[in-house]
Structures are given as structure tokens and as C-alpha cells.
Amino acid sequence: MSTTGTLIWDSDYAWEVLPVLGQASLVTVQATLAGFALALVVGLLFAVGRLAGPTWLRCAVAAVVEFLRSTPLLIQIFFLYYVMPEVGLTLAALPAGMLALGLHYGAYCAEVYRAGLQGVPQGQWEAALALNLSPWRTLRRVILPQALPPIVPALGNYLVALFKETPLLSVIAVMELMQTAKILGSESFRYTEPITLVGGFFLAFSLIASALVRGLERTLNARTRRRT
């Protein structure tokens, strides 16, 4: 406990709210992992569509990607949660938030995938086609193993960025970390402890995620070297 005329930090209150914030952190992690998993899939589909699809598909995907990258995530969250029910698609708050995160960051991941795929020599595609490999098998067995290692750091950065944007889900009443901290603060008129603890959690997750990404990058690079 520290004081400068008035109480600044109450350790007892911090320990009291820590379990509540711990429960809320599970929602934050769930939203992060589900949103990023969706972003990885959507991003790959966008990238392949822009590189290998017919002209009309390339133009359509390019327009969608540009729209998602150029509009704020907050607007996309509002659109999915408040506007889509008017056309018959109603989503609960957490799934709507996950979908918004996945689509928004899928557009950014698409550009990362596209750069990685374009970095693989064209001869790799031609050799795979000469061996009668299907396009999907060529992508999965030949191209992606070469394209992934260089782009893992960029994808990892987007994972951390997505995680740090999960507080935006509080605008549609998702009980993630920041929303829970604000409610705790409003009930006790003490914001220092819950907000500080939330900041510590975000810092810890970011550091752990960065370390895992670096480990994955080293593993993929080692596998690539063994194959060559």
C-alpha cells in the first residue's frame, strides 16, 4: 500500500478483484485466439483469390480487402452487431466481436500471405504442375512450407495487435478485461487497481505471444534448412 496524502494503491482490493479479472481474461483470450484463427483462414483465402483467381474474383477480393483495411474496426463491430440483424443475421455480442476481429485482421494477413506467396519462385509452381499435383496439394505441400517462415514475424505482430484491440468489444457489452475493469471501478470508485492489473495482463500476454512467435519462427526455419 502506498500513500501520497490519499490512498493510491490498495493491495487488499487488488487481490480481491484479481480473480474477477482472471475470469474476464479468459473471454479476452478466447476472443483473441478465435479472431486470429479466423483471420489466418480468411487472409489465406483472400491472398489466394487475389493471386490465382479469375480477373473478376481478383477485383472483388481486392475491393473487400481495401474496404476492411480502410475502415475502422469499431465501425465494423457496430455494423455486424447492430446493422446485420436488420437483414436477418443476428449474432450474440462475443461471436460478433470475434467475427469483426477475424475479418478486419484477415485483410491485413492477406497482404502478408500475398507477399510470402509471391516470394516463392515461380518455378516451384511449374515443377509441381509438371508432377501432376493438384493446385491445393501444391499450395499445401510445396508453396506454404516455403512461404510461411519469412512471414511468421509479421503474422505474430498482427496477433499482438489484435489482442490489444479486444477492449473495443466492450462497446457491444462483451465482458472482456477492460469492460470488467470499468465495472469494478464504477462499483468501488477505485480504478487504479483494476486498470493497472489489466495493463499488466496485456503486457504479459504480449511478451508471451512474442516469445512463442519467435520460437515458431526458429522451428520453421530449422525445418526448412533440413529440407534443403
pLDDT tens, 106-146? Answer: 999 999 999 988 888 888 877 877 888 777 788 878 888 88
* Residues with Cβ within 8 Å of residue 160, at least 6 apart in sequence: 206, 209, 210
pLDDT above 90 covers a percentage of the chain that reads: 59
For the chain, give every domain's residue range: 16-226
Contact 73, 165 (CB under 8 A): yes
* Residues with Cβ within 8 Å of residue 198, at least 6 apart in sequence: 21, 177, 178, 181
Angle, helix 11-52 to helix 55-70, in steps of 10 degrees: 160
**Which three cell numbers, joined as nine digits, stand for 205?**
500476454
Contact 167, 158 (CB under 8 A): no
Of 118 and 41, the structure prediction assigns the larger pLDDT to: 41
**Closest alpha carbon to 77 in 107, 108, 98, 61:** 98
pLDDT tens, 42-99? Answer: 999 999 898 887 889 999 999 999 999 999 999 999 999 999 999 889 999 999 999 9
* Residues with Cβ within 8 Å of residue 169, at least 6 apart in sequence: 31, 77, 93, 94, 97, 101, 176, 179
**Which three cell numbers, joined as nine digits, stand for 123?**
518455378
- Would you say residue 6 has pLDDT above 60? no
**Closest alpha carbon to 113 in 138, 134, 139, 137:** 139
Q: Note the pLDDT of residue 132.
A: 80
> How many Å apart are CA 130 and CA 122, to the nearest integer?
13
Q: Calculate mean pLDDT across residues 9-14.
A: 87
- Would you say residue 224 has pLDDT above 70? no
pLDDT tens, 26-39? Answer: 999 999 999 999 99
pTM: 0.87
- Would you say residue 192 has pLDDT above 80? yes
For the domain made up of 16-226, the CATH class stated in words is mainly alpha
